[in-house]
């Protein structure tokens, strides 16, 4: 407390004394306490209101913006990207996202994230809204139970949502064709699924296409089902003629994969999830799969093989049993004989190897040889035939020619040579040639000379014939005189005939009298007698 | 030498110097009836209380968004610092600088300066008295300018309401920021600058 020193000159007024209560502890301290409480409350609600923090690795953070880009699930904002940085190897972008509260259960092992951008893929255009709003991150909640906080984003949105009922199948193909993610899967031209993904096998031989077939159509896929490219037009010009096959209009534009089970195939239980199928080039190929155990044989044709191309069918009485694989030409320099060896691939099993009982000890190979031997012995020969007159395409026919010269198959050769016979055309040509040869050999000059001579003879003959005819005329004239109306012979003949007529009359009178009086023959005429 | 040492009180209202009634320490100004004290009552305590409150509010004021801008492209919440970064551009940097100075540097400077003044005064430091007084005057003067940010934000929020194209709404950070400004002003107000030289004059007396 201040000390009171004796006042210095000027008189200073005194203040009035007012008693005053003093509180030692100022109420002002409630202010920082209140501030602390409010601050703590805000902090607590912020912390509690925050969901888990996750990281997502993107190939590229293009279009993503820290603090702005949202994570959407079914259109609901469930999180925000808070930071984007490069991964340690500088190859990818790693984004940290602050998720909304209570999203922990969504963030499981198989939850997927992807960037939604405007995308035109195959049959659909998606993400147009992002043109205005900017990219956002799509999310699909997984089924797993184990939680996770580090994710790797997908390159493209998954075409198939995990919750959609249906099944995945694997297709193996040599050529991707126009297949893309989202390419429709068609069953009787009804879109029943989509291509989920595709990738090249590690060995580079095949492409593995993963497709999704929605329920309930997945039940129509069984182990006998065939898949084929239904990509747009399928135009084929073969020995069978021009063939144009199309699927739906959509698949003409974007391509597609169709499947079907042959109606004759056994009804099998539906295929399992992730069953593997072969993806054929087209429907025909799908139902005529290449020979399973093809054998190569050689056919040597002496005549032209025009119209025959590799891939041309080999038919046995119209049943395709193989195809032509190679055509070359061969010249024997000694004899100057031309020959065309044609390699064919046959599946003799299609000829029914089964008919031969595969007894113990005998294998498929011996059975096959037995079959071929038997066929050749019975006159089966290969022949070139024209399949289509319009296009001139030819095919190889195996048929029975009972008159063919006997031959056997030499199994020591490689490839084994099967006997051939001249083609239909070759036969016709040979016949025509034969006729022409014969015509050529005809002695036309002699024939002409003889003909000339014959004509001269004919002249003479005609002259003598005229003489003969003249004399014949005289004879006819005489005859005419003899038989003329005024000739004496005719008159005499008339007289004679009158006499005969008269004689006949009197004879009739006599006959009548005799009929009435038969006794007159003995007694004579009564009247006259009296 | 201070008035208090002379047993005199200065009226804060009219500046009249008076002597307390005998036996009494405090009274009322005979001219303007203002309450008279030798020093502001519980100045250290109150200043500390306001300062701590301001410091506490300063944290959420900077961490929480002060402005939420909703456009067709989505909602965007910015804290003060994000606003500074957002405004920073080759042409807009002066504005960015104003926000930086008024909203971040001044409040923090005020809090730190007041804390320094309080500590030195309570410890009875007698050094740099003039500078400390100058510092006090400065923070008293600039304190009110911190409200610029609050005003700008509230005006913006009131003006930009183009639903549904665009709208601006104040965020929770703004309330805390306003609280910081108010608390620092109150703290400055409750601090009695005479305390700065009290210790110095005590020492003067002691050494005299």
How many Å apart are CA B70 and CA B161, to the nearest integer?
10
Taking an 8 Å cut-off on Cβ atoms, the answer to whether A18 and B26 are in contact is: yes
- Residue A404's contacts (CB-CB under 8 Å, 6 or more residues apart) are A379, A381, A419, A421
A100: pLDDT strictly greater than 50:
yes
Taking an 8 Å cut-off on Cβ atoms, the answer to whether B72 and A35 are in contact is: no
- What angle in degrees, to the nearest 10, is found between the helix axes of B43-63 and B106-122? 150
Nearest CA in chain A to B173: A42
* Per-residue confidence band for A529, with pLDDT thresholds at 50, 70 and 90: very low
Interface test with chain A among B56, B69, B176, by most A beta carbons within 10 Å: B56
Residue A66 distance to chain B (closest CA, Å): 11
* Per-residue confidence band for A356, with pLDDT thresholds at 50, 70 and 90: very low
How many Å apart are CA B102 and CA B106, to the nearest integer?
5
The pLDDT of residue B79 is 82
* Per-residue confidence band for B124, with pLDDT thresholds at 50, 70 and 90: confident
Domains of chain B from N-terminus onward: 1-38 (no CATH), 40-207 (1.20.140)
Instruction: Please spell the DSSP secondary structure of B149-206, one letter per residue.
Output: HHHHHHHHHHH-EETTTEEEEE-HHHHHHHHHHHHHHHHHHH--THHHHHHHHHHHHH
Taking an 8 Å cut-off on Cβ atoms, the answer to whether B30 and A26 are in contact is: no
Task: Quick: pLDDT tens for A158-179.
Answer: 766 666 788 888 888 888 877 8
A8: pLDDT strictly greater than 60:
yes
A20: pLDDT strictly greater than 70:
no
Residue A152 distance to chain B (closest CA, Å): 25
Residues of B in Cβ contact (< 8 Å) with A72: none
Mean pLDDT of the A446-472 span: 91
Of A243, A236, A390, A396, give the one whose Cα is nearest residue A308: A396
Mean pLDDT of the A293-321 span: 81
Share of chain A above pLDDT 90, in %: 7
A238: pLDDT strictly greater than 70:
no
Q: Which residue has the higher pLDDT, A136 or A8?
A: A136
Nearest CA in chain A to B78: A67
Minimal Cβ distance to A12: which of B19, B46, B74: B19
Using CB atoms within 10 A of its CB, is residue A216 exposed (0-12), middle (13-18) or buried (19+)? exposed
Residue A68 distance to chain B (closest CA, Å): 7
Query: Residue A420 forms beta bridges with which residues?
Result: A382
Taking an 8 Å cut-off on Cβ atoms, the answer to whether B21 and A43 are in contact is: no
Taking an 8 Å cut-off on Cβ atoms, the answer to whether A67 and B76 are in contact is: yes
Residues of A in Cβ contact (< 8 Å) with B23: 17
Mean pLDDT of the A191-216 span: 86
Q: Say how many CB pairs under 8 Å bridge A and B.
A: 107
* Most confident among A6-20, A371-385, B190-204 (mean pLDDT): A371-385
pTM above threshold 0.80? no
Interface test with chain B among A4, A31, A76, by most B beta carbons within 10 Å: A31
* Per-residue confidence band for B208, with pLDDT thresholds at 50, 70 and 90: very low
The pLDDT of residue A500 is 93
Taking an 8 Å cut-off on Cβ atoms, the answer to whether A39 and B45 are in contact is: no
- ipTM of the assembly? 0.73
Task: Quick: pLDDT tens for B35-77.
Answer: 777 777 677 888 888 888 888 888 888 888 887 777 766 667 7
Mean pLDDT of the A465-470 span: 91
B205: pLDDT strictly greater than 50:
no
The pLDDT of residue A499 is 93
Q: 3-class SS at A92?
A: coil
Residues of A in Cβ contact (< 8 Å) with B28: 15-16, 18
A182: pLDDT strictly greater than 90:
no
Minimal Cβ distance to A39: which of B46, B60, B190: B60
Taking an 8 Å cut-off on Cβ atoms, the answer to whether A43 and B72 are in contact is: no
Taking an 8 Å cut-off on Cβ atoms, the answer to whether B24 and A39 are in contact is: no
Among A20-34, A49-63, B134-148, whose mean pLDDT is lowest?
A: A20-34
Of A155, A150, A225, A151, give the one whose Cα is nearest residue A196: A155
Residues of A in Cβ contact (< 8 Å) with B9: 15
A503: pLDDT strictly greater than 90:
yes
B109: pLDDT strictly greater than 90:
no
Mean pLDDT of the A349-364 span: 55
Share of chain A above pLDDT 70, in %: 80
Nearest CA in chain A to B56: A36
CA dihedral A14→A16→A20→A26, nearest 10 degrees, is -50
**B33-42: long-range contacts (C-beta < 8 A, 24 or more apart)?**
B36/A15, B36/B9, B36/B11, B37/B9, B38/A2, B38/B4, B38/B9, B39/B4, B39/B192, B39/B194, B39/B195, B39/B198, B40/B190, B40/B191, B40/B192, B41/A22, B42/A26, B42/A28
Nearest CA in chain A to B43: A26
Residues of A in Cβ contact (< 8 Å) with B74: 68, 70, 133-134
How many Å apart are CA A82 and CA A97, to the nearest integer?
5
Interface test with chain A among B42, B85, B164, B185, by most A beta carbons within 10 Å: B42
Task: Quick: pLDDT tens for A410-433.
Answer: 888 777 888 888 766 666 677 788
Q: Which residue has the higher pLDDT, B163 or B156?
A: B156
Residues of A in Cβ contact (< 8 Å) with B21: 14-17
Taking an 8 Å cut-off on Cβ atoms, the answer to whether B60 and A133 are in contact is: no
Residues of B in Cβ contact (< 8 Å) with A29: 45, 49
A237: pLDDT strictly greater than 80:
no
A505: pLDDT strictly greater than 90:
yes
Residues of A in Cβ contact (< 8 Å) with B53: 31-32, 34-36
Q: Which 3-state string (H, E, C) describes A165-198?
A: CEEEEEEEECCCCCCCCCCEEEECCEEEEEEEEE
A355: pLDDT strictly greater than 50:
no
How many Å apart are CA A345 and CA A416, to the nearest integer?
11
A498: pLDDT strictly greater than 90:
yes
B206: pLDDT strictly greater than 50:
no
Taking an 8 Å cut-off on Cβ atoms, the answer to whether B50 and A31 are in contact is: yes
Q: Which residue has the higher pLDDT, B200 or B12?
A: B12
């Amino acid at each position: 407390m201040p000390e009171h020193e004796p006042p210095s000159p000027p008189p200073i007024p005194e203040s009035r004394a007012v008693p005053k209560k003093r509180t030692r502890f100022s109420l002002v301290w409630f202010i920082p306490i209140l501030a602390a409480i409010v601050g703590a409350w805000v902090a607590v609600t912020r912390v509690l209101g925050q969901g888990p923090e996750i990281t997502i690795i993107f190939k590229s953070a293009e279009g993503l913006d820290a603090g702005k880009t949202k994570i959407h699930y079914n259109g609901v904002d469930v999180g925000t990207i808070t930071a984007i940085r490069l991964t340690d190897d500088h190859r990818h972008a790693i984004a940290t996202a602050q998720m909304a509260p209570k999203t922990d259960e969504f963030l499981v092992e198989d939850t997927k994230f992807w960037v939604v951008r405007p995308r035109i893929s195959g049959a659909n255009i998606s993400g147009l809204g992002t043109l205005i709003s900017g990219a956002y991150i799509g999310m699909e909640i997984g089924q797993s139970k184990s939680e996770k906080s580090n994710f790797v984003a997908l390159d493209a949105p998954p075409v198939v949502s995990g919750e959609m009922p249906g099944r995945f199948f694997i297709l193996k193909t040599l050529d991707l064709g126009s297949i893309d993610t989202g390419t429709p899967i068609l069953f009787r031209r009804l879109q029943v699924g989509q291509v989920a993904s595709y990738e090249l096998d590690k060995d580079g031989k095949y492409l593995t296409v993963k497709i999704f077939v929605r329920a309930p159509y997945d039940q129509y896929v069984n182990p006998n089902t065939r898949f084929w490219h239904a990509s747009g037009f399928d135009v084929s010009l073969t020995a069978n003629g021009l063939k144009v096959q199309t699927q739906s209009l959509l698949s003409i534009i974007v391509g597609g994969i169709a499947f079907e089970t042959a109606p004759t195939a056994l009804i099998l239980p539906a295929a399992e999830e992730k069953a593997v199928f072969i993806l054929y080039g087209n429907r025909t190929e799908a139902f005529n799969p290449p020979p399973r155990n093809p054998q190569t044989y050689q056919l040597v044709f002496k005549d032209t093989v025009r119209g025959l191309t590799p891939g041309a069918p080999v038919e046995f009485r119209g049943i395709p049993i193989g195809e032509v694989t190679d055509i070359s030409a061969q010249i024997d320099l000694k004899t100057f004989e031309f020959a065309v060896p044609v390699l064919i691939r046959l599946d003799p099993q299609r000829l029914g190897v089964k008919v031969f009982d595969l007894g113990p000890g005998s294998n498929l190979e011996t059975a096959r040889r037995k079959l071929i031997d038997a066929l050749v012995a019975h006159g089966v020969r290969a022949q070139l035939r024209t399949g289509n007159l319009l296009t001139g395409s030819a095919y190889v026919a195996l048929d029975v020619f009972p008159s063919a010269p006997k031959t056997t198959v030499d199994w020591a050769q490689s490839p084994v040579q099967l006997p051939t016979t001249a083609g239909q055309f070759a036969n016709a040509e040979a016949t025509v040639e034969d006729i022409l040869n014969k015509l050529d050999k005809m002695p036309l000059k002699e024939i002409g000379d003889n003909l000339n001579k014959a004509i001269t003879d004919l002249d003479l003959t005609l002259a003598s014939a005229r003489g003969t005819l003249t004399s014949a005329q005289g004879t006819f004239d005489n005859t005419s005189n003899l038989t003329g109306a005024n000739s004496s012979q005719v008159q005499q003949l008339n007289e004679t005939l009158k006499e005969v007529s008269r004689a006949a009359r009197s004879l009739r009178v006599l006959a009548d009298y005799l009929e009435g009086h038969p006794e007159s023959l003995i007694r004579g005429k009564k009247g006259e007698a009296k | 030498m201070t008035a208090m040492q002379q047993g005199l009180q200065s009226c804060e209202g009219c500046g009249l110097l008076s002597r307390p009634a005998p036996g009494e320490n405090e009274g009322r100004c005979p001219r303007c009836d203002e309450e008279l004290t030798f020093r502001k009552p519980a100045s250290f305590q109150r200043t500390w209380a306001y300062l701590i409150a301001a410091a506490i509010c300063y944290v959420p004021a900077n961490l929480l968004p002060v402005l939420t801008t909703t456009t067709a492209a989505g909602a965007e919440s910015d804290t003060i610092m994000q606003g500074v970064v957002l405004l920073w551009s080759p042409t807009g940097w002066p504005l960015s600088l104003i926000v930086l100075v008024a909203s971040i540097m001044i409040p923090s400077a005020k809090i730190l300066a007041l804390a320094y003044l309080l500590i030195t005064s309570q410890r009875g430091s007698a050094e740099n008295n003039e500078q400390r007084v100058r510092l006090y005057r400065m923070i008293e003067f600039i304190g009110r300018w911190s409200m610029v940010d609050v005003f700008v934000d509230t005006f913006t929020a009131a003006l930009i309401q183009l639903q549904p194209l665009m709208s601006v709404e104040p965020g929770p950070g703004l309330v805390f920021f306003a609280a910081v400004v108010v608390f620092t002003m109150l703290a400055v107000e409750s601090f009695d600058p005479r305390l700065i030289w009290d210790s110095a004059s005590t020492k003067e007396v002691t050494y005299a």
